[in-house]
Amino acid sequence: MRTITIAGRVAAAVALVLLTLTLLPQTAHAAAPTRITDHTTGIGCEAFDGSTKLQFIIARSDLNGTQALAKIARDGESVSAGSGESDWSVPGAFRAAVELTNDDGEVVNSAYLRGSYSADGPGERTLNRFKDGNINVVEDHTTWALTLTDIELVLDGVTMSNVDCAGDSQDGYLSYTNPSSYVARGGFFADGECVADNAVDFSFYGAIDEMSVQFGYADTEDWSASSAGMNLSDGPFNGTFTVNDGEGPAGDVAATAALVRNGEVKRLVNKDGVMSERWVMTPYQLTVTAEGPNAPISATCTFYQVEATQHVKVGKLED
């Protein structure tokens, strides 16, 4: 039902946080924000010669250097591919040559691309600000479409015609803060159990305010049903589920769903010298009914909605 045990969730959550923290400075005090700036340009060309298609992509990055990729397909099947570097040393111009090998590693083709480029207009800016736990992240990029001229694409010494190319250039940066401790918050379902009548493989997923269910109808070939997201925090759902007959959608059926609290809230706290975790676990009971191709189904599920907070002292990870 797309929920997991509490023990399994703890192990997965701790592993994820520790992986995230490997990207942060190991210091006992907050460090200055990290800022990563890059300028990139990418151009892709393709041409057809009968049943043969050649694709050639080149790129450059101030951080990652240059790249060239070429691929040949014939009648939709891959023939050869290769990679190398591209040359952008002349302002406003590019060129690259690549040897292509087959599945046996044999060089069977060679391709060459060159041309000129210029940026169009003022560019389009994209600015994203968000938080990963208590880390503030900013992505700020401006992208320009490129005007491409004097394009020459050569395959095995033969200049190809009807070459189609496009490209863009991008300037921007990624910045993020480096707090002395990392705080992450999230919610999930845990310890879900369902009992169903006339339904098989009943599952639920999502969130309290966007719950989805799906199941198969018992004693049928391939009939199944699924719901869109239901906001059960606002009260019971009365509507329809979509039915599938194994070959595709086969209409809608009347359905209901209701969610009620089912016991006392539990609070779990786990601390050590580096990490502390606090879980607030609210028990719920989900009840679902739906019409079907042979008879109505009903299901009752119990689970916990867990709101978790993890606090890791980054500077102590090396202790």
Q: Residue 34 to residues 38, 77, 183: CA-CA distances in angstroms?
A: 13, 45, 18
Residue 167 class from Cβ within 10 Å (0-12 exposed, 13-18 middle, 19+ buried)? buried
Mean pLDDT, to the nearest integer, of 114-123? 93
Q: Residue 304 to residues 224, 250, 260: CA-CA distances in angstroms?
A: 26, 33, 12
Residue 264 has pLDDT above 50, yes or no: yes
Mean pLDDT, to the nearest integer, of 269-282? 88
Q: Residue 72 to residues 48, 50, 59, 247, 256: CA-CA distances in angstroms?
A: 10, 12, 19, 36, 54
Lowest mean pLDDT among 13-17, 224-228, 280-284: 13-17
Mean pLDDT, to the nearest integer, of 75-81? 92
Mean pLDDT, to the nearest integer, of 53-80? 95
Sorted by sequence, the CB contacts under 8 Å of residue 86 that are 6+ apart come out as 58, 59, 60, 66, 67, 68, 94, 95, 96
Whole-model pTM: value is 0.58
pLDDT cut 70: percent of the chain above it: 89
For residue 23, what pLDDT band results from cuts at 50, 70 and 90? very low
Sorted by sequence, the CB contacts under 8 Å of residue 188 that are 6+ apart come out as 3, 9, 306, 308
Looking at per-residue pLDDT, the higher value among 244 and 313 belongs to 244
Q: Identify the helix (H) or strand (E) that includes residue 54.
A: strand 52-61
Query: In this predicted model, what pLDDT tens digit does every residue of 215-229 receive, in sequence order?
Result: 999 988 889 999 999
Question: In the chain, what are the domain boundaries?
Answer: 6-25+182-316, 35-179
Instruction: Give the pLDDT confidence score for residue 181 in this predicted structure.
Output: 81
